[in-house]
Every structure is written in C-alpha cells, then in structure tokens.
Homo-oligomer: A and B are copies of this chain.
Amino acid sequence: MAAGVKIRLSRAVAGEAVIHRMRPSSARFLLESPPLFLPLCTVSDMSTPDIEAVKNYLLSLQALICAALQEEDGKAQFLEDSWERPQGGGGRSRVLTEGAAFEQAGVNFSHVFGDQMPPSATAHRPELAGRRWQAMGVSLVIHPRNPYVPTSHANVRFFVAEKDGAEPIWWFGGGFDMTPYYGFEQDAAHWHRVARAACAPFGEDVYPRYKKWCDEYFFLKHRNEPRGIGGLFFDDLNEWGFDKCFAFMRSVGDHYIQAYRPIVARRKDTPYGERERDFQLYRRGRYVEFNLVYDRGTLFGLQSGGRTESILMSLPPLVKWRYNWRPAPGTPEAELYEVFLQPRDWLKGAV
C-alpha cells in the first residue's frame, strides 16, 4: 500500500466483519517504504486541516507498525477485520494472536463521523454544537508472551468539527507508554530517549510537558499506582497550526516502533518460569482495571456505539486477580513497584 493511496475498506454488514489474512508480499513492501519520519503525504502550507492527508498517514502507520511487529514476531501473522459503524464511518482492526513474541497484538485504525456531536460532548465545548464531525486514529496495545518484555500502547488521533461558512475546529492527540513486568533501566532510558527525540524538533519544553501528562494520565487512583513507566501523552493540540501539529503527531506515531522494537528484540528470548509468568498475568489485571475504569478512549468508545471487539482488543488474552497480594520484599517483583512504578526522570544520568 503506497503512501497517499486511498484505502478502500472492504464492505461488511454493519456489526459483522470480513476477515482475511494480510498477504506477506504487502507486509514486505511496507518494510521497504521510505523512513517513516519523511512526510508520507504532501502537506499543504496553509494551516487548514488536510483531512485526507491525516487519514492516509494513519492507514500507512497502521500498516508499517503491523509489518514491523509481524517481522519481529517471526511466527504469527496479523488478521484483518474491516468494519462499518452504523452511525457513520468504520475501521480496520488488525490482530495477531499466539505469536512467538506476542501473545496478542492489536492495532486498530478507525475513522468515524457524524452530523451532530452528542450533547455530552458539546456541554463542555459549546462551540462544537451543530457541527458535523470526524474522528480518526490508530490505537494499539501489544501484550508480549515473555514477562521480561513490557506491554506497550500507542495512539495517535485527529478530530475535526466543521460547519459551512466557519473555520473548522480541530485538534490532535496521542502518545505512547510502556508497562514493564520486570524493570530494566536500560529499556526505560531507551524508551524515553526515543520519546524525547520524537519531541525534540518541536521545542525543548515538549518532551517534559507531555512526559508529565503521561505520568498523570496513566495512573490508577484506586491503587495509588502508575500503570507503567510512562512515555508521552498529549491532547487538544492545535496551538502550532495544522502543519506543525500534524508533523508532531506523525513524529510520535513514527517513533513508537523505534522505541518498542529494540526492547522486544533484546528481551524476548530471556528464559523465564512459572513465577515470572504468574506475576505477568497478575500485573495484567492492572491493565484491565485502568482501561475499563479510567481510559477515556475506551469509555468514550463503549458509550458512543464504537465497535466493542476493536475497543476491547486492548485487554490481555489471559489475566489473573489475586486478593490482597503483595510481592515479598527484596524480590524483582517488589523492585517493579519500588523502582519502576515511580514517576521519575528516566533520562537523568542515562547514557
């Protein structure tokens, strides 16, 4: 799939899905594409949103990430479902299960739209009332098999509300964050170094600001516990004008796989036993708790008639809960809580 080429979503009966296997040839082609950070689409000079360009970028990003993950896995392949939303729009969900490296990897593209914002959305933003709107994004959660490989999440999204005779209202959001089961300073520093690199061309204050927002957002209040070691989180971004905002969203999207893949490669063959697997399944419970209790995207999706199976692809394939369990002091499991689940500057003193 070449950059700039429109993707025709396979038509499917609303609520049902067409499943077909990605052809290996297309996956290979994607890996031979130009480096991701080069603009994939011609971006207009004006600061009016180029919706088609955003959509083309998102579809390309989904394809590139899937191709890279599939190559890293080396065993399983992504299956694709195209779906339509009865109220407008649809999406393309790709899921890889029971891989060598990945127990489950879900990478969603969606583009949904409507004639009217729901009243719940316009109550806080009355300027959106009466506008037609579109929301599009790529969202992914990767649950690795080996407990030494962290779970990762990334999302980039674009929203625009239009009305004849008025300037469009739009913004970008997104980010990526990582949730280790066993912590490694080297991995945390690499993850944040790539996050900082994604932000660097856009201003010195960008990484610290969005790193802090990420720490605040991915936090389980009922456990008084961060979800992981953070990364980047941004929302409502429009202050730089369309071109620069879009470039930033692309930079975040493009850097995700550079942040994650080397960590997967480094840890995926680490020997582990029952104990580590058990701790991984227990800690996955926190992921479920966060996504179902707090995550705005998940809750908005479920409440707004989104496709449940695509939204809940983020949930781990196997999870344990255990009443009032705590790791024994001095163990690697306790170290996760004491050292890694503490917001901190991961680049301070890191090489």
- By a beta-carbon cutoff of 8 Å, the part of chain A in contact with chain B is 17, 81, 93, 95, 97, 104, 106, 221-223, 281, 285, 288-289, 292-293, 299, 302-303, 308-309, 311-313, 315-324
Q: Cβ of A285 and Cβ of B324 under 8 Å apart? A: no
- From B17, B281, B315, B317, A324 is in contact (CB under 8 Å) with B17
Q: Which 8 residue pairs spanning A and B have beta carbons closest together?
A: A292-B292, A222-B302, A315-B321, A309-B324, A319-B319, A222-B308, A95-B323, A292-B293
- From B81, B97, B299, A293 is in contact (CB under 8 Å) with B299
Q: Cβ of A317 and Cβ of B322 under 8 Å apart? A: yes
Contacts of A317 in B (CB 8 A): 320-322
Sample of 8 A–B contacts (CB below 8 Å): A17-B324, A81-B324, A221-B302, A293-B299, A313-B323, A317-B321, A318-B320, A319-B320
- Please give the distance in Å from A313's CB to the nearest CB on chain B: 5
Q: Cβ of A312 and Cβ of B321 under 8 Å apart? A: yes
- From B104, B221, B293, B323, A323 is in contact (CB under 8 Å) with B104
Q: Cβ of A319 and Cβ of B322 under 8 Å apart? A: no
Q: How far is the CA of A85 from the CA of B23 in the complex (A)?
A: 57
Contacts of A93 in B (CB 8 A): 323
Q: Which of A95, A97, A288 has the most CB of B within 10 A?
A: A288
Q: How far is the CA of A288 from the CA of B321 in the complex (A)?
A: 11
Q: How far is the CA of A288 from the CA of B286 in the complex (A)?
A: 12
- Please give the distance in Å from A95's CB to the nearest CB on chain B: 5
Q: Cβ of A97 and Cβ of B292 under 8 Å apart? A: no
Q: How far is the CA of A302 from the CA of B222 in the complex (A)?
A: 6
Q: Supply 17 further A-B pairs (C-beta < 8 A) apart from A97-B323, A285-B315.
A: A81-B324, A95-B323, A97-B322, A222-B302, A281-B318, A288-B288, A288-B292, A293-B293, A293-B299, A293-B302, A309-B323, A309-B324, A312-B321, A316-B321, A317-B320, A317-B321, A319-B319
